[in-house]
Structure 1
Amino acid sequence: MRLTVIGTGYVGAVHAACMAELGHEVLGVDIEADRIGALAAGRPPFYEPGLSALLQGGVDSGRLHFTTSIGEAARFADTHFVCVGTPQRANSGAADLRYVDAAVDGLAPYLRDGGHGPVLVVGKSTVPVGTSERLGQRLRIVAPDADVAWNPEFLREGRAVADTLRPERIVAGVTTGGAEARLRRIYGPMLASGTPFIVTDPATAELVKLASNSFLATKISFINAMAEICDVTGADVLTLAEAMGADSRIGPGFLAPGLCFGGSCLPKDIRALTARAEELKAGGSVALLREVDEINRRQRRRVVELARRLVGGTLGDRDVAVLGAAFKPLSDDVRDSPALAVAEAVRLRGARVRVHDPEAVDNARAAHPDLLYALDVAKACEGADVVLHLTEWPQYREIDPVALARSVRTPALVDARNSLDAVAWRSAGWTVLAPGRPQLG
């Protein structure tokens, strides 16, 4: 089939490359010429494991193309995936839909004269419930046979290629049998391998992504709330999480205590769901999400406090090494990064902060130019009064604490992700503090 993907950011670039991998002819569309140029040359504009080879393969096969022309996209296919961003509004928690609206409004005039088969616009962007219906009404003014469906993405940064090609489920929010049939054809190889295909109305499909992310955020914040209790009782949050996760009704996933969550999805999505519920006069139904958000924010302040304790009560004029800048490992994404939030908070308290990250240094420097950066761990930690482990990259678990102790001024570590071998670090002479594990101090 011929498909277009409107918006070639994180979701769009991955979706376009994966659809070409499935054998479809795909045209990616974006207004950023530099981005389109890089993609057309087979170069992804961000770090995502496995994407580079997939993208290059699609371009080399002739199945994957890119353009800045929405008119060309309208002529290329009658199925259009909308994958543009929906960031949080600057003045509220609600989702900013200007890019979704612009994508549909930009496409619509080229459909005015007909000459196409039935047009299907498939939303993959994360949007408030009711968006599909509103966009369908606008689109059908100029293209009466146009249909809008919603097909939310469930990608995890660092695992996006696998999540697209081997998804746990595909959700199709449709109003017509024709839309359902077309989506079944597009995703045919996945359905043939047994991937569940959940057909529902568009409103439910819009809601499922926000509800899923809000549930995951709640689980993460809950174990971090328990970590706060562990700090004042002497209990060990890692053992607590292990015991809780052994209950099949709970499970171990997302019970990782530490610096909590960030990125472009979970914080934004819980706020967007809360805002939309309030617009619908149902704010009480998601009141707990406000506390989930507050617990998440509080973890950043708690890590700063642990750092302050380790350097004797004041961060002023101290040298602080930060391991990690991306909001999660296997990504160079620094949007709402807890690691950078902590690094900046420490800097504002008078410390000299040097940051290391395997992939995200360039993006971090652009977002936080007042911080210092290093391209290797030893350089980042040279002369440090305290080391803060803030993003759980696998490389950091391979650090030799004995060797690193020779680089620092004081062997003091805050393991804000609770993922390093505290016994090994303490045996090497380090003082170790971690959220929810007061006995380490």
Structure 2
Amino acid sequence: MSGDTSRIEAAAPQPRITVIGTGYLGATHAACMAELGFEVLGLDVDPLKIVALSRGELPFHEPGLPELLVKHVSSGRLRFTNSYREAADFGDVHFIGVGTPQRPGESAADLAYVDAAVAELVRNLTRDALIVGKSTVPVGTARRLRRLIDDELEGRPEPAAPRVALAWNPEFLREGRAVQDTLAPDRLVVGTDDGDAESRALLRRVYAAPLATGTPLIETDFETAELVKVAANAFLATKISFINAFSEITEVIGGDITTLADALGHDARIGRKFLNAGVGFGGGCLPKDIRALQARADELGAGAAMRFLTQMDEINLRRRDRVIHLATQSVGLLQGARIAVLGAAFKPESDDVRDSPALDIAARLYNSGADVTVYDPQANRNAAARFPRLEYARSLEEAVSGADLVVLLTEWEEFRRLRPRDLEPLVRERRFIDGRNVLPAEDWKASGWEFSALGRRADVVGLHEVREQVSGADPRSRLAPIDFFQSLAAE
């Protein structure tokens, strides 16, 4: 298959699929491929994970996925193993869904797991196969893996050497909507070697169901397929950072950032999605991916083109500083203040606390001496594993009981429905910070609450103080948000 998939098609009219790596991406993809009618084998090197998945148990929260997992484990259409030999013998199409974390102490992506998965699979292959990368990787990875595959195959006796093709098919999953995004994606992107029509045809068969419903298919080269994923993440991070940069301006001069975002959103060229000012983005993808993109651009000598990504990261982190500032302004001395934090996951409908703004802010409030109680509908367990010194409540009511300040940091629907009368009998002081701009501020103020939100000027804070807090530098210096726009203009 650096060549030809015709032997696969003749031997197996319905290709059998393996998914290597059964974390969030891999487990979702495996269950959804089974739902699309394929026989699927999931592979992971962690034996405990294999045992749990084989019982239909997921180690993370994702709506709709537990039901699919149980359904297809029970039917026998979906199985799990830790044997590369078994996977190599079983599959015609092998999806690679292992992690690409940041290297320790660096911004660049660690590709050790991707390299190891591909190399070990190829060593065990005895028949033709198509390897399909789904992990988010720096541009140029697929070309390098193509050479790695060829090196692994070199020296095998010609009649016994399998033909191994490679394609790149990036994932575009949104946590909380991953099942829908897999079964009915808004687009499919497939990158292959030039002229590899057989691999493209095989993947069109794999994705026949979503393609039949009108899902757009973009067939391209390796590099474009790799860049689409990181470009999408960078663009979303840019929109979030853009509105948060303007929220720093409105905090200084006045104005309502939510109304500003609404007005911008009516422009069809811009749109309203991802223009929600708040404590910024987090999770296991956006932060690491934009840092890895900047690092890769630097390696390629194109670092200037991506310099604005560094500014975005800084804007994102400054929003967390702003919440600490508002909390201090609200209660005075944080030492001994009882603070209820609503939310620990980086976004609703997820239990993912990786690089979560909510959990980071909660930990920083605690480290400043506050008595912090956290409540999240799904993420308490993961949060406690990361920050065990925080208190974790089993309900919203338990979290806010006796609180001097309530801080909303993850916009779960349970929190979006809150009204002043819900909390008044429980809290000690009527103080609230809306870190996600999801509550009607005037209603809370009219009920006698001291209510703060990001993107709105706090009357008791002087211009000098806000400038100093926002920029983190001499208050005579220019406001930090302007740096972001200057960096874009400089490119």
Cα separation, 2, equivalents of 1:234 and 1:347: 30
Cα separation, 1, equivalents of 2:69 and 2:146: 31
Aligned-pair distance for 1:409?
A: 1.3
- The superposition leaves residues 333-390 of structure 1 with CA deviations (integer Å, 9 ceiling, x where unpaired) of 1000000110011111111110000000000000001111101111111111111100
Q: Which runs of 5+ in 2 are unaligned?
A: 1-14, 154-160, 461-491
Is 1:382 equivalent to 2:392 in the alignment? no
Question: What SS is found at the alignment partner of 2:167?
Answer: strand
Greater Rg by CA: 2
Cα separation, 2, equivalents of 1:423 and 1:28: 52
Give the equivalent residue in structure 2 for 1:107.
121
Is 1:161 equivalent to 2:179 in the alignment? yes
Give the equivalent residue in structure 2 for 1:295.
315
- The superposition leaves residues 263-288 of structure 1 with CA deviations (integer Å, 9 ceiling, x where unpaired) of 01111111010000000010000011
Aligned-pair distance for 1:423?
A: 2.8
- The superposition leaves residues 222-246 of structure 1 with CA deviations (integer Å, 9 ceiling, x where unpaired) of 1000001001111110010011111
Cα separation, 2, equivalents of 1:16 and 1:416: 36
Give the equivalent residue in structure 1 for 2:151.
141
Give the equivalent residue in structure 2 for 1:349.
368
Name segments (4+ residues, structure 1) moved above 6 Å.
Answer: none
8 Å CA contact 1:432–1:440 kept in 2: the answer is no
Write the mapping of 1:355-434 to structure 2, written as runs, cut at 5 A. 355-434=374-453
Cα separation, 2, equivalents of 1:206 and 1:398: 40
Cα separation, 2, equivalents of 1:199 and 1:90: 34
TM-score when normalising by structure 1: 0.97
The counterpart of 1:75, out of the listed 89, 106, 131, is 89
Cα separation, 2, equivalents of 1:265 and 1:7: 16
Give the equivalent residue in structure 2 for 1:171.
189
The counterpart of 2:142, out of the listed 132, 137, 149, is 132
Is 1:6 equivalent to 2:43 in the alignment? no
8 Å CA contact 1:331–1:360 kept in 2: the answer is yes
Give the equivalent residue in structure 1 for 2:73.
59
Please give the root-mean-square deviation of Cα atoms over the aligned residues, in Å. Answer: 1.2
Question: What SS is found at the alignment partner of 1:149?
Answer: strand
The counterpart of 1:316, out of the listed 319, 324, 335, is 335
Question: What SS is found at the alignment partner of 1:438?
Answer: coil
Give the equivalent residue in structure 2 for 1:306.
326
Question: What SS is found at the alignment partner of 1:171?
Answer: strand
Is 1:186 equivalent to 2:196 in the alignment? no
8 Å CA contact 2:119–2:152 kept in 1: the answer is no
8 Å CA contact 2:138–2:293 kept in 1: the answer is yes
Aligned-pair distance for 1:424?
A: 2.9
Cα separation, 1, equivalents of 2:254 and 2:385: 41
Give the equivalent residue in structure 1 for 2:49.
35
8 Å CA contact 2:98–2:135 kept in 1: the answer is yes
Give the equivalent residue in structure 2 for 1:119.
129
8 Å CA contact 1:87–1:268 kept in 2: the answer is yes
Give the equivalent residue in structure 2 for 1:273.
293
Aligned-pair distance for 1:438?
A: 2.3
The counterpart of 1:15, out of the listed 14, 29, 32, is 29
8 Å CA contact 1:353–1:372 kept in 2: the answer is yes
- The superposition leaves residues 91-145 of structure 1 with CA deviations (integer Å, 9 ceiling, x where unpaired) of 211001111111112212112xx3x1x2111000000011111111111223362
Give the equivalent residue in structure 2 for 1:335.
354
TM-score when normalising by structure 2: 0.87
| Identity, % of aligned positions | 56
